[in-house]
Amino acid sequence: MTKQLKAVLRDETGFAIVVVTMIMVVTMVMFSAVVLRANQTLRLARQTEYNTRAELLARSGLERAIVETRANPTSYAGTPLTWQNNDPGAGRAYLVGTPIRQGDNVELVSTGMANGVGRQLRAMAAIMSGPSGVFDKAIYAGNVPPNGAAPNPNYRLSFGGAGTEGDEINGDVYSGNDVVVVDDAAVLPAVAESYQDLNGNNMYDRGDVLTLDIDGDGQYDPTVSEALHEDNGNGIYEPDLGETFDDANGNGQYDPRETFRDYNQNGLCDAGEPFTDSNGNNRYDYGIEGVGDVTYPGHPEAQGGSEPLAPPDLSAMNFPATADVNVSQRFGSMSSGTLPSSNPAHIFRKNSSSTFSEVDQVFTVDGHQINPDDYFLEDPYESVSTGEKESDSNATRISVSSASQGHEEGNNKVYFIDGNLWLHNSHTYSFKLKYPTSDGVRLTFVVRGNIVLSDNFYYNSMVNDQVSFIAMKREDDPNAEISGNVYIGDPRFGTIRYLHGLLYAENNFYDNNLDEEGSYQFDIYGNMTAGNQVAINRDYEVPGYYEWRFVSGRWRRVWVEPQTKHSKMVIDFDNRYIDGPNGLERMCPGLPNGPNRSTVLALRIASIVDVGPVNPPAEYWERYEGYRR
C-alpha cells in the first residue's frame, strides 16, 4: 500500500510541474498582452495627441492666413512652412497653400504637422469688402479742404425732414466732423455689427487705446516707466545732474509712466466690449461714423470719435495723361460744336449755344472767376425725347460708341474733360446710356472744373451698368473754392429727380433749386461723396397763402400759415463690385482707390471641412527625418 501511494505521488509531482509551467506561460502571455495593449494604447493616445496637435496647427494656419490677407489683401500667396519655434524639437509646423478664388469666396487649404503626423483642413472664406475707402460709402464728407486749409470744426453732415419728407440713406455714412440725424430721417447702414453690452449702458464701449507701451507687452502697466539712471534715487529725471534714461519710445523725453487714451474717463485702461466682426476689419462698425460727434436719437450704437478717413489724392492719378479719352484734346481748336459719331467723345457737345441763355458758365467766389469751356453730356445723333418729366422709358439716349459697329470703342473707358460738365438740356428731362451689346455701360467721367447734374440720368441695365462722375479742382483756382464741386439740381427749374451714378467732388457738393418749385425729392442710386463737404441745404420756406376750403357747410377763404418744408433725399448705395486684378473693384474703370483706412479685401471663414490625415510635404521631412515612420 505504501509503495503504491508513493508511486501515485511521484506521478502527481510530474503533473504539478506541468500545471505550474502552464500557469507561468499563461501569466507571461497575459502580461505580454497587457504590455502590448498598453503600448498600443499609448501609441494610440500619442497618435490622437499628434492628430489633435496637427489639427490645431492647421487651424492656426487658417487664422494666420486671415490675418495676412487683411494686412496684404492684393498679393497674399499663402503661408510658407512656418515652424513652431517655441518647441523646435517637437516637429510641429503648418503650411497654407495659395488661396483659390471662387466667386465671392476664397478656398484656403492648411496642413498642420506634429511629430510626423499631418492633418489638413479646407476652409471656405467669404470675401468681406469695406467699409474702407471713400467709394464704399453711401455718403462721405471728408471735411478736408483741397487747398490745404484746416478742417472746419463746425461742419455738420445733417439729415432731417418730418413725416414723408424724412431723408432715407441706405448705406454707410462718414463725416470728417459731426453727423446729425433728426426728425424722421433714417440711416440704414450696410454694416451694423452686434456687440455684448457688458456694463448695460446701451452703447458699445470700444475700449481705451494704449498710447505709450514702454515695456512692449501690449497692456497698460501703471508702475512701468522708462529706466532712469540716477545717483540720488529720488525718481526724478534731473538732466542738470547728468542723469540719463532709456528712451523706450524714441520721443526724446523721459516718460515716468505708460499712458492711454481714456475714452470714458474712468481712470482705467478698458479692453472694450466684444463684438461680431462681420466685415473682418478688426474694429466695431455701425456704419454711421463721425470724427466729431454723432447725434442720432434712439441709436446710441452710432458713436463719434471715429478714425479719420482721408480722401483720395486725385492729382496722383494724373488723369490728363492716363485717361483713355481726353475729350478736350479730341475737340482740339474747336470753340464749339460736336464730333463725328465714330469718335468716343461724340457724346459731348462743346459750348452749346442753345443752352448759354440758361446756364451761368462763370463761377465766381469773392470776385475771383474761372471761365473754362462747358461740355454737355448728350448725343447729337440721337433724337431728343420731350415726353414725360420723370420716366426712364422716354429718356433721351446717349449711345456709347462700339467697335462692333466699326467705331472706336468707347465703353469701359475713363473720359477726361478740362472744363465744366453739364447734364442739362432745355428740351428734355431725362437721359439714358445705351450700348449695342448686353455687356453694360461702364464709364468714368473725370472733370477738371465743376459738374452740374440738372436732368434725370438713368442706367439702361441696373445689373451691368455703372458710371462715375469725378470733379477735380483747377490750377487757375488757387484757393480751390470755385472748382472741384458737384451741383445737384437745375439752376432755373430744379427738375432733377432720379440719378444713377457714383459721384465724387474733390471740393464740395451743392444744391441747385431743390425745393417745392424745383425738386421736392431726389433719389440717387450710387453714392454722394465729397473730399470736403456735402453742403446741401434742402430746407425751404413756403410763404403763407389763402385757399378755399369747405367749412361749416359752405366754402370759405382760409389763411394757411407759412411753413418750413424739406426736399427729401433718398440715397441707395450701389454696392456692386467685380473681381479685378487687385481684388474687389468697382465696375466702372479708373476710380482712385486710396488711401483706405482698412483693407478693401478681408476674409471671414464661413465653413471648414476636415480633409483628414495627410503625409507632410518633403520640406518637412528634410527637417524632421527622425519622425518618419
**What's the CA gap between 347 and 157, in Å, rounded?**
35
- Looking at the structure, tell me whether residues 237 and 362 fall in a common domain: no
**What's the CA gap between 616 and 16, in Å, rounded?**
57
All cell numbers assigned to 94:
503648418
For residue 3, the model assigns a pLDDT of 58
- Looking at the structure, tell me whether residues 360 and 465 fall in a common domain: yes
All cell numbers assigned to 261:
487714451
Domain limit, last residue, from 479, 505, 531: 505
For residue 273, the model assigns a pLDDT of 64
598 within domain boundaries: no
Number of domains in the chain: 3
Find out whether 309 and 142 touch, Cβ atoms under 8 Å. yes
78 within domain boundaries: yes
- Looking at the structure, tell me whether residues 356 and 482 fall in a common domain: yes
Comparing 6-15, 23-32, 45-54, 536-545, the range with the smallest average pLDDT is: 6-15
Calculate mean pLDDT across residues 59-78: 69
Of residues 113 and 329, more confidently modeled: 329
For residue 356, the model assigns a pLDDT of 45
Tell which residue, 155, 158, 139, 160, has the closest CA to residue 565.
160
293 within domain boundaries: no
- Looking at the structure, tell me whether residues 121 and 219 fall in a common domain: no
Residue 136 is given by DSSP the state G
Taking only the tens place, the pLDDT of each residue in 387-413 is 666 666 788 999 999 999 899 999 999
**CA dihedral (54, 59, 62, 64) positive or negative:** negative
Helix, strand, coil shares, percent, the chain, to 5 = 15, 30, 50
**CA dihedral (356, 360, 361, 367) positive or negative:** positive
Find out whether 119 and 109 touch, Cβ atoms under 8 Å. no
Q: E strand or H helix at 27, and its extent?
A: helix 2-71
Taking only the tens place, the pLDDT of each residue in 507-542 is 998 876 554 454 567 889 999 999 999 987 667 677
Taking only the tens place, the pLDDT of each residue in 185-223 is 988 886 666 666 666 666 556 566 566 676 666 666 666
* pLDDT of 584 over the 70 cut: no
**What's the CA gap between 567 and 3, in Å, rounded?**
133
465 within domain boundaries: yes
Of residues 305 and 554, more confidently modeled: 554
- Looking at the structure, tell me whether residues 329 and 265 fall in a common domain: no
For residue 117, the model assigns a pLDDT of 84
- Looking at the structure, tell me whether residues 369 and 256 fall in a common domain: no
For residue 390, the model assigns a pLDDT of 61
Domain limit, last residue, from 249, 271, 293: 271
Could you list the beta-strand ranges (E) of 104-172. 105-114, 117-128, 139-141, 156-159, 168-170
Taking only the tens place, the pLDDT of each residue in 475-506 is 877 777 789 999 887 655 556 788 999 999 99
For residue 367, the model assigns a pLDDT of 53
For residue 448, the model assigns a pLDDT of 94
- Looking at the structure, tell me whether residues 100 and 217 fall in a common domain: no
Q: Which residue has the cell 496637427?
A: 54
557 within domain boundaries: no
The whole domain housing 63 covers 2-125+607-627
471 within domain boundaries: yes
Domain limit, last residue, from 505, 537, 568: 505
Could you list the beta-strand ranges (E) of 512-581. 521-530, 533-534, 539-542, 545-551, 554-560, 563-566, 568-573, 577-580
Q: Which residue has the cell 529725471?
A: 237
Q: E strand or H helix at 321, and its extent?
A: helix 319-322
For residue 364, the model assigns a pLDDT of 56
- Looking at the structure, tell me whether residues 259 and 350 fall in a common domain: no
146 within domain boundaries: no
Find out whether 494 and 518 touch, Cβ atoms under 8 Å. yes
**CA dihedral (513, 518, 520, 526) positive or negative:** negative
For residue 617, the model assigns a pLDDT of 84
**What's the CA gap between 276 and 296, in Å, rounded?**
22
* pLDDT of 581 over the 60 cut: no
Phi and psi at 523, nearest 5°, equal: -120, 130
For residue 597, the model assigns a pLDDT of 45
Band (153; pLDDT cuts 50, 70, 90): very high
Q: Which residue has the cell 467669404?
A: 126
**CA dihedral (570, 575, 576, 577) positive or negative:** positive
Does the predicted TM-score (pTM) go above 0.75? no
Band (559; pLDDT cuts 50, 70, 90): confident
**What's the CA gap between 159 and 536, in Å, rounded?**
10
For residue 518, the model assigns a pLDDT of 46
For residue 89, the model assigns a pLDDT of 58
All cell numbers assigned to 308:
479719420
For residue 408, the model assigns a pLDDT of 95
Find out whether 172 and 190 touch, Cβ atoms under 8 Å. yes
Taking only the tens place, the pLDDT of each residue in 411-448 is 999 999 999 999 988 788 889 989 988 778 999 999 99
Find out whether 374 and 419 touch, Cβ atoms under 8 Å. yes
595 within domain boundaries: no
Q: E strand or H helix at 612, and its extent?
A: strand 602-614
Provide the residue count of the chain: 629
The per-residue b/e assignment along 387-416, b for 16 or more CB within 10 angstroms, e otherwise, is eeeebbeebbbbbbbbeeeebeebbbbbbb
- Looking at the structure, tell me whether residues 267 and 332 fall in a common domain: no
Find out whether 129 and 136 touch, Cβ atoms under 8 Å. yes
Tell which residue, 270, 53, 149, 13, has the closest CA to residue 531.
149
- Looking at the structure, tell me whether residues 472 and 353 fall in a common domain: yes
Taking only the tens place, the pLDDT of each residue in 213-255 is 766 666 666 667 777 787 777 777 777 777 787 777 667 777 7
- Looking at the structure, tell me whether residues 234 and 361 fall in a common domain: no
* pLDDT of 623 over the 90 cut: no
Band (596; pLDDT cuts 50, 70, 90): very low
Taking only the tens place, the pLDDT of each residue in 372-381 is 889 999 999 9
Cβ contacts of residue 410 below 8 Å, gap of 6+? 325, 344, 347, 400, 401, 402
* pLDDT of 606 over the 90 cut: no
Q: E strand or H helix at 349, and its extent?
A: strand 348-350
Q: Which residue has the cell 487649404?
A: 109
Of residues 579 and 216, more confidently modeled: 216
In this structure, how many other beta carbons lie within 10 angstroms of the beta carbon of residue 527? 24
Phi and psi at 592, nearest 5°, equal: -70, 130
Cβ contacts of residue 24 below 8 Å, gap of 6+? none
* pLDDT of 7 over the 60 cut: no
* pLDDT of 25 over the 60 cut: yes
The average confidence (pLDDT) of the chain is 78
- Looking at the structure, tell me whether residues 382 and 485 fall in a common domain: yes
Calculate mean pLDDT across residues 60-70: 73
Q: Do the bridges between strand 486-488 and strand 451-453 make them parallel or antiparallel, or are there none, so unpaired?
A: parallel
* pLDDT of 102 over the 80 cut: no
